[in-house]
Amino acid sequence: MGARGSVQTATLVSMAGKEVLMSPKAHGTCTTAVQANLRWGVDWETADRICCFNRHYAEHSGYFLTTRFMDAKPEDGEPITFYDSVSGKPLYRAPQGRTWEQFIAESRAHGWPSFRDQECVTDNMRVLSNGEVVSVDGTHLGHNLPDSNGNRYCINLVSVAGTPPGDPNQQCAEE
């Protein structure tokens, strides 16, 4: 195994999750519904269905291009933090180790925001043995689809359009 394969495997071991993360809770696999005020104008019903009542499906390919997400390009080159749409915990910070243009080009090519190992907030996300990517709180995020460049986390924008805890825009839709 080459150096890239060793790093790829070590990263997955550190993020390995157990199926129990996705056990039934008060709201599907989540404790509550998704936040009421999701970023980039993502559809709340789609977000709730994909995040909390889904294990296999995704928003349609290219969905992120139909939202205001493309307006989020950071002016100063700093990465954007992507938050769990249910808990508000940070899940990814991107782009890192590449430009915004490279991040968007890869995401366009695959149809969903595509994150790499260095962009993961590993305290808050896990990869199950079947490749499903989830939050530590049971939110379905997407799937790990490794390629020749390493792990590629193909993630639903609706799953990472939340706001951080304490943000005045964050509230559960059920409140």
Pairing type for strands 153-155 and 140-144 reads antiparallel
Query: Residue 117's closest CA among 1, 5, 21?
Result: 5
Place of tokens 């915990």: 89
At 76-94, the pLDDT tens digits run: 889 999 999 999 999 999 9
At 43-60, the pLDDT tens digits run: 999 999 999 999 989 999
At 142-164, the pLDDT tens digits run: 999 999 999 999 999 999 999 99
Pairing type for strands 114-115 and 140-144 reads unpaired
At 93-119, the pLDDT tens digits run: 999 999 999 999 999 999 999 999 999
Model confidence band, residue 169 (pLDDT cutoffs 50, 70, 90): low
Domains of the chain by start residue, with CATH: 3-159 (2.170.150)
User: Which pLDDT belongs to residue 175?
Assistant: 40
User: Which pLDDT belongs to residue 174?
Assistant: 46
